[in-house]
Amino acid sequence: QYSFFILLFVFLLKSRSNFLLTGVSLGLIVLSRPEAILFPVILFIFYFFRRMKKELIIPIIGVMIFSTYLIFRIIYYNDILPNTFYAKQNFGSFRDGIFYLINGLFLYFGPLLGFVVSGFNYEKMKNGLSTTIYAFILGQIFFIIWATGDWMVGYRFLFPIVPLILILLIFTIKINISILRLIFLVLATIIFNTFVLRSYLKLNLADTDKSGFKEIEVMGKDYVSVTNFFKKELSKLPKYSLKIALTEAGFIPFVIEQNILDISNLNDKYLARLPGAHFNKIDVDYVFSKEPDYIVFMNSFFYNDDLISYPPNLALYSDKRFKDQYKEVKRGNSFIIYKRI
Protein backbone atom coordinates (compact mmCIF):
# COMPACT_ATOMS: atom_id res chain seq x y z
CA GLN A 1 0.00 0.00 0.00
CA TYR A 2 2.94 2.32 0.69
CA SER A 3 4.18 2.17 -2.91
CA PHE A 4 0.61 2.51 -4.18
CA PHE A 5 0.00 5.69 -2.17
CA ILE A 6 3.32 7.12 -3.40
CA LEU A 7 2.36 6.48 -7.02
CA LEU A 8 -1.11 7.92 -6.38
CA PHE A 9 0.49 11.03 -4.92
CA VAL A 10 2.81 11.40 -7.93
CA PHE A 11 -0.15 11.02 -10.31
CA LEU A 12 -2.20 13.64 -8.48
CA LEU A 13 0.77 15.96 -8.23
CA LYS A 14 1.40 15.65 -11.96
CA SER A 15 -2.22 16.38 -12.82
CA ARG A 16 -2.23 19.47 -10.54
CA SER A 17 -6.01 19.26 -10.50
CA ASN A 18 -6.74 19.07 -6.80
CA PHE A 19 -4.17 20.09 -4.19
CA LEU A 20 -6.54 19.09 -1.37
CA LEU A 21 -6.78 15.50 -2.64
CA THR A 22 -3.03 15.49 -3.28
CA GLY A 23 -2.47 16.48 0.37
CA VAL A 24 -4.77 13.66 1.52
CA SER A 25 -2.77 11.15 -0.54
CA LEU A 26 0.40 12.48 1.10
CA GLY A 27 -1.27 11.97 4.49
CA LEU A 28 -1.98 8.34 3.56
CA ILE A 29 1.70 7.90 2.70
CA VAL A 30 2.71 9.26 6.11
CA LEU A 31 0.27 6.94 7.89
CA SER A 32 1.64 3.91 6.03
CA ARG A 33 5.29 4.10 7.12
CA PRO A 34 7.02 5.95 10.00
CA GLU A 35 9.85 7.28 7.81
CA ALA A 36 7.35 8.91 5.46
CA ILE A 37 7.10 11.94 7.77
CA LEU A 38 10.25 13.08 5.97
CA PHE A 39 8.29 13.66 2.77
CA PRO A 40 5.96 16.50 3.86
CA VAL A 41 8.92 18.14 5.59
CA ILE A 42 11.00 17.97 2.41
CA LEU A 43 8.08 19.18 0.30
CA PHE A 44 7.36 22.10 2.62
CA ILE A 45 10.98 23.27 2.45
CA PHE A 46 11.04 22.86 -1.32
CA TYR A 47 7.76 24.73 -1.92
CA PHE A 48 8.66 27.44 0.59
CA PHE A 49 11.99 28.32 -1.03
CA ARG A 50 10.52 28.05 -4.53
CA ARG A 51 7.72 30.41 -3.39
CA MET A 52 5.05 27.98 -4.55
CA LYS A 53 2.39 29.27 -2.16
CA LYS A 54 -0.54 27.27 -3.54
CA GLU A 55 1.38 23.99 -3.28
CA LEU A 56 2.21 24.61 0.40
CA ILE A 57 -1.25 23.31 1.28
CA ILE A 58 -0.15 19.79 0.21
CA PRO A 59 2.45 19.14 2.95
CA ILE A 60 0.33 21.04 5.49
CA ILE A 61 -2.60 18.66 4.91
CA GLY A 62 -0.25 15.69 5.08
CA VAL A 63 1.10 16.83 8.46
CA MET A 64 -2.44 17.52 9.76
CA ILE A 65 -3.50 13.96 8.93
CA PHE A 66 -0.37 12.58 10.57
CA SER A 67 -1.01 14.75 13.66
CA THR A 68 -4.35 13.03 14.31
CA TYR A 69 -2.57 9.66 14.39
CA LEU A 70 0.20 11.06 16.56
CA ILE A 71 -2.33 12.39 19.10
CA PHE A 72 -3.98 8.96 19.22
CA ARG A 73 -0.61 7.29 19.79
CA ILE A 74 0.20 9.58 22.71
CA ILE A 75 -3.24 9.22 24.33
CA TYR A 76 -3.57 5.46 23.87
CA TYR A 77 0.01 4.14 24.07
CA ASN A 78 1.87 7.08 25.64
CA ASP A 79 4.32 6.76 22.75
CA ILE A 80 4.96 8.68 19.54
CA LEU A 81 6.46 5.87 17.46
CA PRO A 82 4.23 3.19 15.83
CA ASN A 83 4.25 -0.38 17.13
CA THR A 84 5.67 -1.63 13.83
CA PHE A 85 8.79 0.43 14.47
CA TYR A 86 9.52 -1.57 17.63
CA ALA A 87 8.45 -4.88 16.10
CA LYS A 88 10.60 -4.51 12.98
CA GLN A 89 13.50 -2.32 14.12
CA ASN A 90 17.03 -3.43 13.31
CA PHE A 91 19.99 -3.19 15.67
CA GLY A 92 23.14 -2.36 13.76
CA SER A 93 25.36 0.45 12.52
CA PHE A 94 25.17 2.98 9.71
CA ARG A 95 27.63 0.71 7.89
CA ASP A 96 24.97 -2.03 7.91
CA GLY A 97 22.50 0.42 6.43
CA ILE A 98 24.87 1.33 3.62
CA PHE A 99 25.53 -2.34 2.79
CA TYR A 100 21.79 -3.04 2.91
CA LEU A 101 21.25 -0.19 0.45
CA ILE A 102 24.02 -1.35 -1.92
CA ASN A 103 22.87 -4.99 -1.91
CA GLY A 104 19.25 -3.98 -2.38
CA LEU A 105 20.01 -1.64 -5.25
CA PHE A 106 22.01 -4.43 -6.85
CA LEU A 107 18.99 -6.71 -6.54
CA TYR A 108 16.72 -4.16 -8.19
CA PHE A 109 19.38 -2.92 -10.59
CA GLY A 110 17.25 -3.51 -13.72
CA PRO A 111 15.41 -0.16 -13.59
CA LEU A 112 18.47 1.57 -12.14
CA LEU A 113 20.59 0.40 -15.06
CA GLY A 114 18.03 1.79 -17.46
CA PHE A 115 18.05 5.11 -15.66
CA VAL A 116 21.85 5.36 -15.83
CA VAL A 117 22.13 4.25 -19.46
CA SER A 118 19.34 6.51 -20.72
CA GLY A 119 21.21 9.52 -19.40
CA PHE A 120 20.42 11.90 -16.60
CA ASN A 121 19.77 15.47 -17.71
CA TYR A 122 18.80 17.65 -14.78
CA GLU A 123 18.41 20.86 -16.74
CA LYS A 124 15.71 19.36 -18.95
CA MET A 125 14.01 17.67 -15.99
CA LYS A 126 14.10 20.69 -13.72
CA ASN A 127 10.51 20.88 -12.54
CA GLY A 128 8.59 20.45 -9.29
CA LEU A 129 7.44 16.91 -9.99
CA SER A 130 10.89 15.51 -10.78
CA THR A 131 12.45 17.31 -7.83
CA THR A 132 9.73 15.91 -5.57
CA ILE A 133 10.46 12.36 -6.76
CA TYR A 134 14.18 12.86 -6.17
CA ALA A 135 13.40 14.18 -2.69
CA PHE A 136 11.33 11.06 -1.94
CA ILE A 137 14.14 8.79 -3.11
CA LEU A 138 16.78 10.63 -1.09
CA GLY A 139 14.51 10.66 1.95
CA GLN A 140 14.04 6.88 1.74
CA ILE A 141 17.79 6.36 1.31
CA PHE A 142 18.45 8.54 4.36
CA PHE A 143 16.00 6.45 6.39
CA ILE A 144 17.55 3.14 5.26
CA ILE A 145 21.00 4.24 6.42
CA TRP A 146 19.66 5.76 9.65
CA ALA A 147 17.64 2.61 10.43
CA THR A 148 20.78 0.48 9.76
CA GLY A 149 18.94 -1.61 7.19
CA ASP A 150 16.41 -4.29 7.99
CA TRP A 151 16.65 -7.74 9.55
CA MET A 152 13.90 -9.12 7.30
CA VAL A 153 14.76 -10.59 3.90
CA GLY A 154 13.54 -9.09 0.64
CA TYR A 155 14.80 -5.48 0.86
CA ARG A 156 11.30 -4.16 1.50
CA PHE A 157 12.62 -0.70 2.39
CA LEU A 158 13.60 -0.29 -1.26
CA PHE A 159 10.16 -1.15 -2.64
CA PRO A 160 8.96 2.50 -2.65
CA ILE A 161 12.07 3.62 -4.54
CA VAL A 162 11.78 1.22 -7.49
CA PRO A 163 8.51 2.59 -9.00
CA LEU A 164 9.80 6.15 -8.55
CA ILE A 165 12.98 5.29 -10.44
CA LEU A 166 10.86 3.80 -13.21
CA ILE A 167 8.87 7.04 -13.40
CA LEU A 168 12.10 9.02 -13.68
CA LEU A 169 13.27 6.58 -16.33
CA ILE A 170 10.12 7.30 -18.36
CA PHE A 171 10.66 11.03 -17.98
CA THR A 172 14.27 10.68 -19.10
CA ILE A 173 13.45 8.51 -22.11
CA LYS A 174 10.85 11.03 -23.27
CA ILE A 175 13.41 13.83 -22.98
CA ASN A 176 16.72 12.75 -24.37
CA ILE A 177 17.02 9.16 -25.58
CA SER A 178 17.61 8.02 -29.16
CA ILE A 179 16.26 4.80 -30.66
CA LEU A 180 19.79 3.32 -30.71
CA ARG A 181 20.25 4.14 -27.03
CA LEU A 182 16.85 2.62 -26.24
CA ILE A 183 17.78 -0.65 -27.97
CA PHE A 184 21.03 -0.74 -26.01
CA LEU A 185 19.11 -0.10 -22.79
CA VAL A 186 16.74 -3.02 -23.39
CA LEU A 187 19.55 -5.43 -24.32
CA ALA A 188 21.70 -4.36 -21.37
CA THR A 189 18.82 -4.85 -18.95
CA ILE A 190 17.99 -8.31 -20.35
CA ILE A 191 21.63 -9.41 -20.15
CA PHE A 192 21.97 -8.12 -16.62
CA ASN A 193 18.77 -9.74 -15.35
CA THR A 194 19.55 -13.04 -17.07
CA PHE A 195 23.14 -13.58 -16.01
CA VAL A 196 24.36 -11.25 -13.28
CA LEU A 197 21.22 -11.17 -11.15
CA ARG A 198 20.73 -14.92 -11.47
CA SER A 199 24.31 -15.56 -10.29
CA TYR A 200 23.88 -13.07 -7.44
CA LEU A 201 20.72 -14.71 -6.15
CA LYS A 202 22.17 -18.21 -6.49
CA LEU A 203 25.22 -17.16 -4.50
CA ASN A 204 23.24 -15.45 -1.74
CA LEU A 205 20.53 -18.08 -1.40
CA ALA A 206 23.00 -20.96 -1.19
CA ASP A 207 23.70 -20.26 2.46
CA THR A 208 20.16 -20.12 3.80
CA ASP A 209 21.27 -19.86 7.44
CA LYS A 210 23.29 -16.73 6.70
CA SER A 211 20.65 -15.07 4.54
CA GLY A 212 17.86 -15.70 6.99
CA PHE A 213 15.60 -17.59 4.60
CA LYS A 214 15.75 -20.76 6.67
CA GLU A 215 14.53 -18.91 9.76
CA ILE A 216 11.74 -17.27 7.76
CA GLU A 217 10.71 -20.68 6.41
CA VAL A 218 10.64 -22.23 9.89
CA MET A 219 8.73 -19.31 11.33
CA GLY A 220 6.23 -19.40 8.45
CA LYS A 221 5.51 -23.09 9.03
CA ASP A 222 5.06 -22.47 12.74
CA TYR A 223 2.60 -19.67 12.05
CA VAL A 224 0.57 -22.12 9.97
CA SER A 225 0.85 -24.80 12.69
CA VAL A 226 -0.42 -22.46 15.42
CA THR A 227 -3.22 -21.16 13.20
CA ASN A 228 -4.36 -24.67 12.20
CA PHE A 229 -4.23 -25.83 15.81
CA PHE A 230 -6.62 -23.13 16.97
CA LYS A 231 -8.87 -23.47 13.95
CA LYS A 232 -9.28 -27.16 14.74
CA GLU A 233 -9.59 -26.74 18.51
CA LEU A 234 -12.04 -23.87 18.31
CA SER A 235 -13.98 -24.85 15.20
CA LYS A 236 -17.20 -25.54 17.14
CA LEU A 237 -16.94 -22.50 19.38
CA PRO A 238 -18.38 -19.06 18.61
CA LYS A 239 -15.98 -16.40 17.41
CA TYR A 240 -14.33 -14.31 20.12
CA SER A 241 -15.56 -16.63 22.88
CA LEU A 242 -12.09 -17.45 24.26
CA LYS A 243 -9.08 -15.42 25.30
CA ILE A 244 -5.61 -16.28 24.03
CA ALA A 245 -2.46 -14.67 25.43
CA LEU A 246 0.14 -14.51 22.69
CA THR A 247 3.67 -13.13 22.37
CA GLU A 248 3.60 -12.86 18.57
CA ALA A 249 0.41 -10.91 18.03
CA GLY A 250 0.52 -10.12 14.34
CA PHE A 251 -0.89 -12.42 11.67
CA ILE A 252 -2.46 -15.08 13.90
CA PRO A 253 -5.15 -12.96 15.65
CA PHE A 254 -6.61 -11.92 12.29
CA VAL A 255 -7.04 -15.54 11.26
CA ILE A 256 -8.27 -17.37 14.35
CA GLU A 257 -10.82 -14.67 15.31
CA GLN A 258 -10.62 -14.96 19.09
CA ASN A 259 -9.89 -12.46 21.84
CA ILE A 260 -6.14 -11.86 21.93
CA LEU A 261 -4.07 -10.53 24.79
CA ASP A 262 -0.79 -9.30 23.32
CA ILE A 263 1.84 -10.04 25.98
CA SER A 264 4.65 -8.75 23.77
CA ASN A 265 3.47 -5.35 25.15
CA LEU A 266 2.85 -3.65 21.83
CA ASN A 267 -0.91 -3.74 21.23
CA ASP A 268 -2.31 -4.00 24.74
CA LYS A 269 -2.99 -0.51 26.12
CA TYR A 270 -1.97 -1.31 29.69
CA LEU A 271 1.17 -3.33 28.93
CA ALA A 272 2.32 -0.87 26.27
CA ARG A 273 2.27 1.99 28.81
CA LEU A 274 4.42 0.17 31.37
CA PRO A 275 7.85 1.72 31.96
CA GLY A 276 10.80 -0.02 30.32
CA ALA A 277 11.91 -1.18 26.92
CA HIS A 278 9.47 -2.91 24.59
CA PHE A 279 9.52 -6.72 24.68
CA ASN A 280 11.21 -6.61 28.10
CA LYS A 281 8.30 -5.57 30.31
CA ILE A 282 5.43 -7.62 31.65
CA ASP A 283 2.91 -7.56 34.47
CA VAL A 284 2.15 -11.18 35.31
CA ASP A 285 -0.65 -10.25 37.72
CA TYR A 286 -2.38 -8.35 34.94
CA VAL A 287 -2.06 -11.30 32.53
CA PHE A 288 -3.39 -13.84 35.00
CA SER A 289 -6.22 -11.51 35.98
CA LYS A 290 -7.46 -11.83 32.39
CA GLU A 291 -7.65 -15.63 32.83
CA PRO A 292 -6.52 -16.56 29.30
CA ASP A 293 -7.74 -19.95 28.06
CA TYR A 294 -4.49 -20.45 26.17
CA ILE A 295 -1.02 -18.97 26.49
CA VAL A 296 1.23 -19.15 23.45
CA PHE A 297 4.97 -18.57 23.72
CA MET A 298 6.15 -17.56 20.28
CA ASN A 299 9.01 -15.47 19.00
CA SER A 300 10.94 -15.02 15.75
CA PHE A 301 14.38 -15.06 17.39
CA PHE A 302 13.98 -17.77 20.05
CA TYR A 303 13.65 -21.45 19.23
CA ASN A 304 12.73 -24.60 21.15
CA ASP A 305 13.60 -24.34 24.87
CA ASP A 306 15.14 -20.87 24.35
CA LEU A 307 11.58 -19.60 23.97
CA ILE A 308 11.32 -19.61 27.76
CA SER A 309 14.18 -17.08 28.00
CA TYR A 310 12.21 -14.39 26.15
CA PRO A 311 11.48 -11.89 29.00
CA PRO A 312 7.63 -11.94 28.95
CA ASN A 313 7.62 -15.73 28.55
CA LEU A 314 10.14 -16.22 31.34
CA ALA A 315 8.18 -14.02 33.76
CA LEU A 316 5.01 -16.02 33.16
CA TYR A 317 6.72 -19.39 33.13
CA SER A 318 8.46 -18.69 36.45
CA ASP A 319 5.20 -17.84 38.20
CA LYS A 320 3.64 -20.62 40.29
CA ARG A 321 0.19 -19.85 38.91
CA PHE A 322 1.38 -20.72 35.42
CA LYS A 323 2.63 -24.18 36.44
CA ASP A 324 -0.50 -24.85 38.48
CA GLN A 325 -3.04 -23.68 35.91
CA TYR A 326 -1.55 -24.48 32.49
CA LYS A 327 -0.26 -27.54 30.65
CA GLU A 328 1.61 -27.85 27.36
CA VAL A 329 -0.54 -29.14 24.50
CA LYS A 330 1.57 -28.48 21.37
CA ARG A 331 5.13 -27.48 20.55
CA GLY A 332 7.04 -26.42 17.43
CA ASN A 333 10.41 -24.92 16.56
CA SER A 334 9.39 -21.40 17.54
CA PHE A 335 6.22 -21.85 19.59
CA ILE A 336 4.76 -23.61 22.64
CA ILE A 337 1.01 -23.69 23.29
CA TYR A 338 -0.29 -24.04 26.84
CA LYS A 339 -3.92 -24.72 27.73
CA ARG A 340 -5.72 -23.76 30.91
CA ILE A 341 -6.37 -26.85 33.04
- In the three-class reduction of DSSP (H, G, I as helix; E, B as strand; rest coil), residue 260 is classed as strand
88, 92, 96, 100: CA torsion to nearest 10: -10
Tell me if 73 sits within 8 A of 128, measured CB to CB.
no
pLDDT number for residue 113: 58
CA atoms 173, 178, 181, 186: torsion sign: positive
pLDDT at 206: 43
Task: Of 210, 233, 335, give the one whose Cα is nearest residue 293.
Answer: 233
Q: Could you give the maximum distance between any two Cα atoms of the chain, in Å?
A: 77
What's residue 338's pLDDT? 94
Report pLDDT for 286.
Answer: 94
Q: How far are the Cα atoms of 11, 29, 43, 52, 88 from residue 24, in angstroms, in the given order?
A: 13, 9, 14, 18, 26
Please write down the long-range contacts of 2-5, taking CB distance under 8 Å and 24 or more positions apart: 2/29, 2/32, 2/33, 2/36, 2/159, 2/160, 3/159, 3/160, 3/162, 3/163, 5/29, 5/32
The model's pLDDT over 215-263, given as tens digits with 9 standing for 90+, comes to 445 566 788 888 888 888 887 788 888 889 988 767 788 788 888 898 8
Q: Give the per-residue pLDDT at 13.
A: 82
Q: What is the pLDDT along the chain (341 residues), one digit of tens a residue?
A: 777 888 888 888 877 778 889 889 989 988 887 778 888 888 888 888 877 788 889 889 999 999 998 898 888 888 777 666 666 666 667 888 888 887 777 666 655 655 555 555 554 555 567 777 777 788 888 888 887 877 666 677 877 777 777 777 776 666 555 666 666 666 665 665 555 555 545 544 444 344 444 444 556 678 888 888 888 888 778 888 888 998 876 778 878 888 889 888 778 888 888 887 777 788 999 999 999 999 998 875 555 567 777 888 889 999 999 999 999 999 888 889 999 99
Q: How far apart are CA 74 and CA 52, in angstroms?
A: 33
- Give first-to-last CA distance, the chain, whole Å: 43
Name the packing angle between helices 128-146 and 94-107 (round to 10°).
Answer: 130
pLDDT given at position 319: 93
Cα angle 240, 241, 245; round to 5? 75
**Beta pairing partners, 243:** 259
Provide long-range contacts, Cβ within 8 A and 24+ apart, for 34-37: 34/81, 34/82, 34/84, 34/85, 35/139, 35/140, 35/143, 35/147, 36/2, 37/66
- Distances, alpha carbon 125 to alpha carbons 12, 53, 135, in Å: 18, 21, 14
Q: Which residues pair with 297 in a beta bridge?
A: 336
Q: Residue 42: helix, strand or coil by DSSP?
A: helix
Question: So what's the pLDDT on residue 262?
Answer: 87
Query: What is the predicted pLDDT for the residue at 213?
Result: 44
Coil vs helix vs strand at 178: coil
